[in-house]
Amino acid sequence: MSDKLISTKYEGVYYKELQSLYQGKPNLSYYIMYRSGNKQIKKSVGKKSLRMTGAKASEIRLDILYEIKHGINEHNSKDKIFREIADMWYEDKKITISSAKEERQRIEKHAANIMDKKVMDITSSDIKDIYNIAITHGISEQTFKKVFAIYKRVIKHALEHEYIKKAPTVIFNKKIKENKVTESYTDEMINSYISVINNYQDITIARIVMLILLTGMRRSEPPKLKWKNYDKANSTVIIEDAKSGQNETYFLSEKAKEIIESQRAFTQTYIFEDYQRNPIKTSKISYHAKNMALMAGLPTHFRPLHSLRHRFGTELAKSGLNSFMIQKMMTHKDPKTTQRYIDLANDDILKALNNSEQNSNIGNVNTNVDSKIIRVDVD
């Protein structure tokens, strides 16, 4: 893959080759360049795999130039509200950024107080309010950090494309700690949790939680499971519109398939449905999972569902799987995330090794022995 832009026969239209393939050849991402005022604008307009061509890119460029020339370019409005520029960012990035949809939904959910504000009316106090509301509702600082990063990307995009004239003055200096928490279960803790799951009053919720334990799915993914995406013969299930913004495939053990098959007589479209044939809500799963964790006596800082995903990843690492296979099974995009589970598994292995020494005669061996030189005469 090359980041170099290659010119086409169309004025102001360029492309670059991507790592992914389309019809056996490197996919192409098209860009247009044009001048607006004193600024040179570069804009991504789509990929060849999504039917973008040099000719279509040229038409888009000519339309923009016409709007600029006749003063009807809506991009120059000074009174845009944040929702508008967030939508413009999404429309421009949804083809080239796989997580664009998820990010657009995230900022809609967690930054509701600024969505209908004029961009230039947004202040530092608004950002502090987003942070305070998040913390009050038990949302992690890491989630706020992601939301604030999306906000800054939307503002930067609006400036680059002249949707706004200047950025609002916003300062947020609070230092956010890095989130590297990976909960570690003892055998006693996980056995207690499994016992509660097996005897829980809501059987459907219990099956969902057990499926998360057996597959490492994220809490938002079991409600998305559909029968049409379940392949019993190949032991896989596809999650549509996963966290990455793409479809993701999970591999299923025999026990995981038993859980899914147990739902076959009760649901139609989704594998886990409520009585109205709608997918089970994530909020309901979270509520019952917290109750289960309390009944199992888990530490209060444990996340009752995500901790099961962490345990799944750690157990994969302990079993000796290489990092590539773990990354694939966990649907991680960043290998650094996968490495956390490998590091944690190594810590557990060393701890077990030291414990085994202490519980055996090896632990009583005196290692503080003076070295002696022994002379051996050889004929």
**Using one digit for the tens of pLDDT, what is the confidence trace for 223-253?**
999 999 999 999 999 998 777 667 889 999 9
Number of domains in the chain: 3
138 and 232 belong to one structural domain: no
What is the four-CA torsion angle of 249, 253, 259, 263, rounded to 10 degrees? 50
Q: Which domain CATH number covers 151?
A: 1.10.150
Q: What would the pLDDT profile of 207-226 be if each residue is shown by its tens digit?
A: 999 999 999 998 889 999 99
61 and 195 belong to one structural domain: no
128 and 69 belong to one structural domain: no
Coil, helix or strand for 110? helix
16 and 86 belong to one structural domain: no
Tell me if 175 is assigned to some domain. no
18 and 141 belong to one structural domain: no
63 and 89 belong to one structural domain: no
Q: What is the pLDDT of residue 155?
A: 92
Question: Is the predicted pLDDT of residue 366 greater than 80, yes or no?
Answer: no
Question: Is the predicted pLDDT of residue 313 greater than 90, yes or no?
Answer: no
Instruction: Provide the pLDDT confidence category of residue 360 given band limits of 50, 70 and 90.
Output: low
Report CA Rg, the chain.
27
Q: Indicate the average pLDDT of the chain.
A: 83
Neighbouring residues of 171: CB distance < 8 A, sequence distance ≥ 6: 124
Token pair belonging to 351: 């701890």
Element (H, E) at 353: helix 335-358
210 and 277 belong to one structural domain: yes
Mean pLDDT, residues 23-51 taken together: 87
- Kindly report whether the global pTM for this prediction surpasses the value 0.85: no
330 and 192 belong to one structural domain: yes
Q: What is the pLDDT of residue 79?
A: 74
231 and 309 belong to one structural domain: yes
Q: How many helices (H) and strands (E) does the chain have?
A: 13, 7
Tell me if 177 is assigned to some domain. no
207 and 90 belong to one structural domain: no
300 and 344 belong to one structural domain: yes
Neighbouring residues of 291: CB distance < 8 A, sequence distance ≥ 6: none
Mean pLDDT, residues 150-161 taken together: 88
Tell me if 248 is assigned to some domain. yes
Look at residues 51, 74, 97 and tell me which one is the last residue of a structural domain: 74
Question: Amino acid identity, residue 334?
Answer: D
Strands 236-239 and 248-251: antiparallel
Residue of higher predicted confidence among 256 and 374 = 256
Residues of the domain holding 194: 187-356
Residue of higher predicted confidence among 334 and 152 = 152
Mean pLDDT, residues 22-35 taken together: 89
Tell me if 217 is assigned to some domain. yes
Q: What is the pLDDT of residue 262?
A: 95
Q: What would the pLDDT profile of 246-281 be if each residue is shown by its tens digit?
A: 788 999 999 999 999 999 999 999 999 998 999 999
Q: What is the pLDDT of residue 134?
A: 86
* C-beta separation of 242 from 248 below 8 A: yes
Mean pLDDT, residues 129-134 taken together: 90
22 and 108 belong to one structural domain: no
Q: What is the pLDDT of residue 51?
A: 85
Instruction: Provide the pLDDT confidence category of residue 344 given band limits of 50, 70 and 90.
Output: low
Tell me if 226 is assigned to some domain. yes
